[in-house]
Amino acid sequence: MMDRRTLILEIKGYETDEEKAKHAAAKRWVSAVNNWGNLGRWCFHVCRDPHLLGKELEHI
């Protein structure tokens, strides 16, 4: 059976301090939603190289 999740995906080549803060907030949000449990399973991922996205998604 396939594990169904909702993915928040961001594709970025360069990460500023503002984006680091945004990513940290997204990770906290995903953790809170998963702990609550009423919206299914969520995950957050930042891809740095779009050519590797398929391979990265295999490990999420």
* C-beta atoms surrounding 26 within 10 Å: 16
Token pair in block for residue 34: 């998963």
Q: Are 9 and 45 in contact (CB under 8 A)?
A: yes
Q: What's the pLDDT tens digit per position in 23-33? A: 999 999 999 99
Measure the CA–CA gap between 2 and 40, rounded to whole angstroms.
14
Query: The whole model's pTM is what?
Result: 0.82
Q: Tell whether the model's pLDDT for residue 41 goes beyond 50.
A: yes
* pLDDT average, residue stretch 45-50: 95
